[in-house]
């Protein structure tokens, strides 16, 4: 009987644990999706049946008359934002309430590879953002551009050879290989040559980072459901962490831990290390007199590896998906392809046929083409923020608490006929200045906006 009683107590306790907070939105009178014990409203995502962007889009489409809709990630309350004005409040106007991205568990220990600009929150994010911004200046980009042109020429050779022989190429694979090559050159000073080498080591590294695995899905799921128990389990695993540490250490050793003059991302990190600590006013630590404390950051070997890791991941996946999807659309819209080619030819004629940073900036219609591609299929289909201090939603009496996750369903908003007529039609003219002026600024956010907007927005 004692054993049965203990089992009953355990099961009941487990059930209450798995449903805690599941009345959060009901108590506040907020329209919400119905949660499932342990998984909340994201069961299909945890089971790898839907992506985060798809799940957010489902909520967006299911509630067309709401400004925001409640949900749960396991037992953590989430809020999907449907109103562009409210999106602006969260990511710009009221940023001090939502400076955290909220992608990592809310405890002090942080997986080493996640101590980077994309995943970091609070003071660590602010320190990294301040120091990393100069790496993406127009001057730095111009200095790197010859490295990109060299890879473009290899891509052109590969494509022309395929056309001459009638060979079929997978656009996604080709653009992934090209992107690997220029990320390797601009980020790490490596000549990966993935376009010509079938199984290049850098290509394998990309697959190891980005290909979904059951182990990674398991860790992410259980870190959300049982954060205290699984907080030290690494999402990317020790093997990948060791690979990134070894790669960055090897490159730095080859350069004698000094900038090499290549003007690549590793050179930038070496320059940072030479300068020592960087200081800012804290977002999180306040003195007795109400002023912000000063906080400092010094770039150690782990931090170097973490920044190199996110440079590779963010640059590779976003660029390859955006370019390959746009090529797919151009293949189905030859009239758009012709206009884009005419735009390229017009600009190159002015620059003696030479591709340069300044020439690319003049290719207006080509830019519209890419913007339209990223509208239909943005590389990141959602934005995530986390409430860090109590916040009353403008125009309502609904107050949310720190820890609530905010989701902006970019892909759903950018494909909403309310903002873009016939949204699945590929029409770059939507991005002419006249058309852009007619729209709400916050219905097109492939790079986000506000202080946490993508730092690589203007990267080539």
Q: Which residues are annotated as a binding site for heme?
A: 454
Separation between Cα atoms, residue 155 and residue 181, nearest integer Å: 10
> How is residue 46 written in tokens?
């945890």
Residue 239: count of CB within 10 angstroms of its CB: 9
Separation between Cα atoms, residue 42 and residue 304, nearest integer Å: 34
> How is residue 66 written in tokens?
């709401």
Separation between Cα atoms, residue 449 and residue 87, nearest integer Å: 10
Residue 228: count of CB within 10 angstroms of its CB: 8
Helices and strands in the chain, H and E counts: 19, 8
User: Smallest Cα–Cα separation from 135: which of 252, 263, 262?
Assistant: 263
Dihedral through CA 72, CA 34, CA 54, CA 410, nearest 10? -60
Strand order in the sheet with 405-408: 68-73, 76-81, 405-408, 383-386
User: Smallest Cα–Cα separation from 78: which of 455, 386, 323, 429?
Assistant: 386
Cα diameter, the chain: 89
Annotated binding site: 454
Q: What are phi and psi for residue 261, nearest 5 degrees?
A: 90, 5
User: Any idea what DSSP says for residue 91?
Assistant: I
Contacts of 76 (CB under 8 A, 6+ apart): 21, 40, 224, 403, 404, 405
Separation between Cα atoms, residue 460 and residue 452, nearest integer Å: 19
Separation between Cα atoms, residue 368 and residue 11, nearest integer Å: 57
């Amino acid at each position: 009987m004692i054993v049965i009683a203990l089992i009953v107590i355990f099961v009941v306790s487990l059930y209450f644990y798995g449903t805690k907070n599941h009345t959060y939105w009901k108590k506040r009178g907020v329209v919400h999706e119905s949660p499932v014990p342990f998984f909340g409203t994201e069961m299909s995502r945890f089971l790898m049946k839907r992506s985060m962007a798809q799940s957010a889009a489902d909520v967006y489409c299911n509630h067309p008359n709401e400004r925001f809709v409640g949900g749960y990630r396991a037992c953590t309350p989430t809020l999907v934002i449907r109103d562009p004005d409210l999106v602006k409040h969260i990511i710009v106007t009221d940023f001090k309430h939502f400076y955290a991205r909220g992608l990592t568990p809310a405890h002090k220990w942080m997986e080493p590879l996640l101590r980077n600009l994309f995943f970091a929150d609070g003071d660590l994010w602010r320190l990294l953002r301040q120091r990393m911004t100069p790496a993406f200046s127009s001057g730095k980009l111009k200095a790197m551009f010859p490295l990109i042109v060299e890879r473009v020429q290899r891509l052109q050779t590969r494509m022309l050879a395929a056309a001459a022989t009638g060979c079929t190429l997978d656009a996604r694979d080709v653009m992934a290989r090209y992107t690997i090559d220029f990320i390797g050159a601009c980020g790490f000073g490596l000549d990966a040559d993935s376009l010509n080498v079938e199984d290049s080591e850098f290509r394998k590294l990309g697959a190891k980072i980005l290909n979904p695995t059951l182990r990674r899905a398991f860790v992410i799921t259980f870190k959300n459901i049982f954060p205290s128990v699984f907080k030290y389990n690494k999402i990317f695993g020790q093997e990948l962490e060791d690979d990134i540490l070894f790669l960055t250490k090897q490159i730095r050793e080859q350069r004698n831990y000094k900038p090499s003059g290549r003007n690549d991302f590793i050179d930038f990190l070496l320059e940072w290390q030479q300068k020592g600590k960087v200081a800012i006013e804290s977002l999180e630590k306040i003195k007795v007199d109400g002023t912000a404390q000063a906080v400092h950051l010094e770039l150690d070997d782990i931090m170097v590896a973490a920044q190199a890791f996110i440079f590779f991941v963010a640059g590779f996946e976003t660029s390859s998906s955006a370019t390959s999807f746009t090529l797919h659309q151009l293949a189905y819209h030859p009239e758009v392809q012709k206009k884009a080619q005419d735009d390229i030819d017009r600009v190159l004629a002015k620059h003696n046929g030479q591709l340069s940073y300044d020439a690319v900036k003049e290719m207006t219609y080509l830019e519209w083409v890419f913007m339209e591609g990223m509208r239909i299929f943005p590389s990141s289909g959602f934005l995530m923020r986390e409430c860090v201090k109590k916040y009353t939603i403008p125009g309502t009496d609904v107050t949310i608490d720190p820890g609530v996750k905010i989701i902006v369903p970019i892909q759903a908003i950018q494909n909403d006929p309310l903002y873009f007529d016939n949204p699945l039609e590929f029409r770059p003219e939507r991005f002419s200045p006249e058309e852009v002026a007619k729209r709400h600024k916050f219905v097109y956010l492939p790079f986000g906006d506000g202080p946490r907007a993508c730092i690589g927005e203007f990267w080539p």
